[in-house]
Amino acid sequence: MPLPATLPNSSIIRKQFSILWRLTGNACVGDHAEATTGITEFQAQDKDSKEDHAQPEKLPMPSILLDQLNPLKWLAPLTCVSCTRRAEQRLCTRCRQGLTHWQRAQGLVARVPLRVWAWGAYTGEVERALYQLKYDRAYEWGGIFGEIIAAWWQDLPERQSEYTPWHVVPIPLSQERLQTRGYNQAEEISNTFARWVRYPHLPHWLERVRATQAQFSLNPQERAANIQGAFRARPVVRGRDILLVDDIYTTGATLREAARMLTEAGARQVAALVVARPLGQT
Ligand SMILES: [Zn+2]
């Protein structure tokens, strides 16, 4: 997650601010979660998660304390990420309603070879927001979509009849793209999603071992060839149920290749959850 450009250059101050920045970001999400779904606790990371990647900046803290620690609260009023008007949350009520207009109840959009759930349609406000998340450094959209798909996921009819101990894994970016963008948009979404639904979040169980050409410029056959061999799964995925998270589902080439590598490494089952897919796609 990038820091504000106006921060002092001192590395110590920067580091401290970085920790506060992440903690207070969590507090904003947590406050909203409590207000709308009754989720008040931070999701407990599982044993593998702790062993695999200690994340000290995500220690659970009471949200009221976090709120008081929030330097942004004192430095500047919170503004809506979409319309930039002053707001109580990162997305004002009006813009949130504008976004959910495009939900279009997509649900389970693919079954074979991989089950894929999509929350909404890749058009209108959703398309604009996902574009900003990916290309305009508007990483806040990741947390906002994470909240939105979590609330939706919890009410999905398919989930009422089965309990699967999902481990949430975002589609990773190459190191080059991660450095250019400053964050992985899929991980911004999955991190918030996992905390809301209390699934373990394992962003390093799948790695990008090869940089690839941007998929949007390629046809379906080229996409599949382009992404082949781009991922590597950690041995720890053996026997686990993996829920991949990404921002957009188009041809599914990326998700299928990630699922293939996870299955080869012994994952028990792999499914995927995305924010949006283009309208009219079959
Ligand atoms: Zn707004």
- Centre of ligand 1 to C-alpha 96, Å, is 7
- Centre of ligand 1 to C-alpha 150, Å, is 20
Tell me the C-alpha to C-alpha distance, in Å, between residue 210 and each of 21, 137, 243: 31, 23, 22
What is the chain's Cα-based Rg? 18
- Centre of ligand 1 to C-alpha 11, Å, is 34
What tokens appear for 124 in the block?
Answer: 């209108």
How is residue 216 annotated by DSSP? G
Q: Which is more confidently placed, 268 or 30? A: 268
What tokens appear for 111 in the block?
Answer: 């079954």
Out of 33-37, 56-60, 260-264, pick the least confident: 33-37
Tell me the C-alpha to C-alpha distance, in Å, between residue 173 and each of 127, 152, 187: 20, 26, 9
Task: Say whether 5 sits in a helix, a strand or coil.
Answer: coil
- Centre of ligand 1 to C-alpha 4, Å, is 20
Q: What is the pLDDT of residues 139-163, one digit of tens each?
A: 999 999 999 999 999 988 777 667 8
Residue 265 pLDDT: 97
Q: What residue segments make up the domains of the chain, in order of their start?
A: 11-277
- Centre of ligand 1 to C-alpha 191, Å, is 23
Helices 220-227, 253-264: inter-axial angle, 10-degree rounding: 30
Alpha carbons 102 and 53: distance in angstroms, whole number: 36
- Centre of ligand 1 to C-alpha 154, Å, is 25
As a residue count, the chain comes to: 282
How is residue 227 annotated by DSSP? H
To 5 degrees, how large is the angle CA 246–CA 40–CA 193?
A: 0
Alpha carbons 272 and 170: distance in angstroms, whole number: 9
Residue 205 pLDDT: 98
- Centre of ligand 1 to C-alpha 86, Å, is 8
- Centre of ligand 1 to C-alpha 220, Å, is 36
Mean pLDDT of 85-111: 84
- Centre of ligand 1 to C-alpha 200, Å, is 31
- Centre of ligand 1 to C-alpha 178, Å, is 28
0.85 exceeded by pTM: no
- Centre of ligand 1 to C-alpha 60, Å, is 29
Q: How confident is the model at residue 72 (pLDDT cuts 50, 70, 90)?
A: low
Q: What is the pLDDT of residues 162-186, one digit of tens each?
A: 788 999 999 999 998 999 999 999 9
Alpha carbons 116 and 119: distance in angstroms, whole number: 10
- Centre of ligand 1 to C-alpha 140, Å, is 13
- Centre of ligand 1 to C-alpha 82, Å, is 5
What tokens appear for 216 in the block?
Answer: 């949007």
- Centre of ligand 1 to C-alpha 131, Å, is 17
